[in-house]
Structures are given as C-alpha cells and as structure tokens.
C-alpha cells in the first residue's frame, strides 16, 4: 500500500472516531452539562490515557519533555491554539446547534488547512529551508466541499426565526476550524523528525494541561461539580476522539507532511465525519432524516473528498 493510500485510509478511520465527539457532546448538552466541563474534562482524561499509550509503544515522559524543551515557547503557544482554541468553541456551539450540523460546519477546516500550508518549511538537500506552496490543483474540489457545507447549513437555518444565537455558534465553529490546522501546521514546523504521532499528542497535552485545569476550575466556580453522566461521556470522547482519532489523524498528516497534495487529501477525509455523525445521530439520537437540500449538501461534501483523494 502506498503512503498516499495509507494516509487517506487512516484519515477516514480517524474521521469515524472524531464523529463520536459531535454525537456525545450533543447528548451532554441535552442533559444540561456545562460546556466548560465538556471541553476541559475531555483533555484532563486524555493525559493519563496518552501516558499509558506512549509507555506501551516504548516511549517515556522524559523523552517527550526533552522534545518540548527544544522549542518550549512554540510548543506552549501552538498547543493552546490547536487544542484549546479549537475545542472550547465547539463545546460551546453544541448548546445551539445539533452535533451533525457542527460536524458539517467544521469541514471549513479543510479550506483553512490548505491555506496555511505555506507555514510549513521543509529542509532542502543544500540545508536551506523552503516554505511549501498551496496546491492550486486542490482548490476546485475544496470549493465543492465548501459549497456543500454552505448548502447544508443554509438548509437548516432557512425555516428558523431566531437564528442569531445559531449564527454566533457557527462563527465559533469557524474560529475553531482556523485554530486547529493553524496550530497543527505550526507544531509540524518545530516537531523533531524522530518524534512519533503519540509523542506529539502527549507533548501538546502537557503544554495545554494547565489551561484545561484553569477552565475546569472556572467551570466549578460557575456551576459546581459536573454530573456523573458528563464525567463518563467525556471519558468516552477522550478515548475515541481525543486519543484514537487524534493519534490516527496526526499519523496520517505525518505520512503526507512533505507532499501538499497528499496532505490536502488527508485533511479532506475529515468530511467523512459528517456522514458518520448523521448516521450515528439517526441511530442513537432519533434525529430525522436530512432534507433533500441537506442531502445535496452532504453529497457535494462526499463528492469533493472522493475527487480530492482520487485525483493524480
């Protein structure tokens, strides 16, 4: 199996586990779980999980800390961007939008991800570093994906009267959709080439952990302790989306890191989150089938990812 096909396959599997986030977060919102806890508890759970995973894979905490020390400030700043500024807005938005629609809007991260590719620099044989270029051949299919997102969102909002909170929620999702690839790109620029995907996730967790503790403390001050169901559900999200999906996705991006066309295709596999989110919502949340307009939007998204992944 070629690196390209392997990276795309891993990206699709990661998309399934990522989709669990949107469904379980909606369950917590319906149960009146506080959004600050929804965000913070996921990452608080992730640290012990990733410590175990890294140990199992033969790494250790001292090795990860040594990588962080090489570029401490960059690791600290971009870990907040990639994790905190990505997930906090999504956790807030679920109070106003269904999980599957958040997943659809989240696909804008594909566009923003491609636009941030010049932030990655590769070392040439002569020792110089060169910024990678935006793969212009990807843009038509990215536009198809964007059109699918816009059609799906517009079809949902069309019959609603009070849409201001929902528009704010969509704005929050867009903010997170910029933060995630931006942080990931900047981390890729400083990561040691010998660092594994799991070590990268653990390093970002360690750097963002103090902020998550502060958010958890602020949540306690606001609403008291989280209820048991929210604690359990955030554990599920941490394991499926936070550990399994994140490691798989970072592994896929590392496989494609030096080929912008492959990297764009890997990031486009996140569109499959929408399909998985809709199916899981139908099965477990009792949502109605999407309307014809929404189905058209979803079809455009899936078509965009297939064409992006299959083109030469």
| Residue 142: HSE in the Cβ half-sphere, 13 Å Cα cutoff | 21
pLDDT tens digits, 182-196: 998 889 888 888 898
Q: According to the model, what pLDDT value does residue 287 have?
A: 86
Q: According to the model, what pLDDT value does residue 312 have?
A: 44
Mean pLDDT confidence for 220-227 = 96
Higher pLDDT, 262 or 210: 210
Mean pLDDT confidence for 43-53 = 95
**Among the listed residues 20, 47, 16, the one whose alpha carbon sits nearest the alpha carbon of residue 236:** 20
Domain count, the chain: 1
Mean pLDDT confidence for 264-284 = 84
Domain limits for position 236: 3-310
Res. 296 pLDDT band, cuts 50 70 90: very high
Helices 260-268 and 3-30 cross at an angle (nearest 10°) of: 30
Radius of gyration of the chain (CA): 19
Res. 121 pLDDT band, cuts 50 70 90: low
pLDDT tens digits, 131-178: 677 777 778 888 888 899 889 888 888 877 788 889 999 999 999 999
Mean pLDDT confidence for 278-303 = 87
| β-pair type (129-131, 121-123) | antiparallel
Q: Residue 58: pLDDT above 70?
A: yes
Pick from 103-117, 122-136, 224-238: least confident: 122-136
Q: Residue 23: pLDDT above 90?
A: yes
Mean pLDDT confidence for 86-102 = 94
Mean pLDDT confidence for 216-221 = 98
Whole-angstrom CA distances from 178 to 89, 116, 173, 174, 232 are: 11, 9, 9, 6, 29
**Among the listed residues 209, 254, 218, the one whose alpha carbon sits nearest the alpha carbon of residue 45:** 209
Q: According to the model, what pLDDT value does residue 126 have?
A: 67
Mean pLDDT confidence for 289-308 = 83
CA–CA separation, 192 and 196 (whole Å): 9
Q: Which of 13-22, 53-62, 75-84 has the highest mean pLDDT?
A: 75-84
């Amino acid at each position: 199996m070629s690196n390209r096909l392997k990276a795309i396959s891993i990206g699709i599997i990661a998309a399934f586990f990522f989709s669990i986030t949107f469904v379980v977060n909606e369950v917590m919102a319906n149960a009146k779980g506080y959004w600050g806890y929804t965000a913070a508890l996921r990452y608080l759970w992730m640290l012990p999980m990733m410590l175990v995973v890294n140990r199992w894979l033969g790494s250790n905490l001292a090795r990860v800390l040594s990588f962080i020390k090489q570029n401490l400030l960059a690791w600290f700043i971009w870990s907040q961007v990639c994790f905190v500024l990505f997930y906090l807005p999504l956790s807030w938005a679920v109070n106003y939008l269904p999980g599957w629609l958040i997943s659809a809007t989240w696909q804008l991260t594909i566009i923003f991800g491609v636009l941030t590719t010049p932030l990655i620099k590769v070392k040439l044989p002569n020792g110089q570093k060169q910024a990678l270029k935006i793969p212009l051949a990807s843009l038509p299919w990215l536009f198809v994906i964007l059109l699918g997102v816009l059609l799906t969102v517009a079809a949902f909002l069309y019959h609603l009267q009070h849409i201001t909170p929902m528009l704010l929620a969509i704005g929050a999702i867009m903010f997170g959709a910029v933060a995630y690839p931006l942080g990931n790109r900047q981390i890729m620029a400083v990561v040691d080439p010998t660092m594994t995907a799991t070590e990268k996730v653990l390093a970002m967790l360690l750097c963002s952990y103090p902020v998550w503790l502060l958010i958890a403390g602020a949540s306690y001050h606001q609403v008291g302790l989280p209820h048991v169901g929210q604690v359990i559900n955030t554990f599920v999200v941490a394991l499926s989306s936070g550990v399994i999906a994140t490691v798989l996705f970072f592994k896929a991006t590392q496989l494609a890191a030096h080929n912008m066309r492959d990297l764009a295709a890997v990031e486009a596999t996140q569109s499959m989150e929408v399909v998985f989110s809709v199916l899981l919502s139908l099965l477990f949340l009792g949502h109605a089938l999407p309307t014809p307009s929404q189905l058209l939007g979803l079809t455009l998204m899936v078509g965009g990812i297939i064409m992006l992944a299959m083109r030469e």
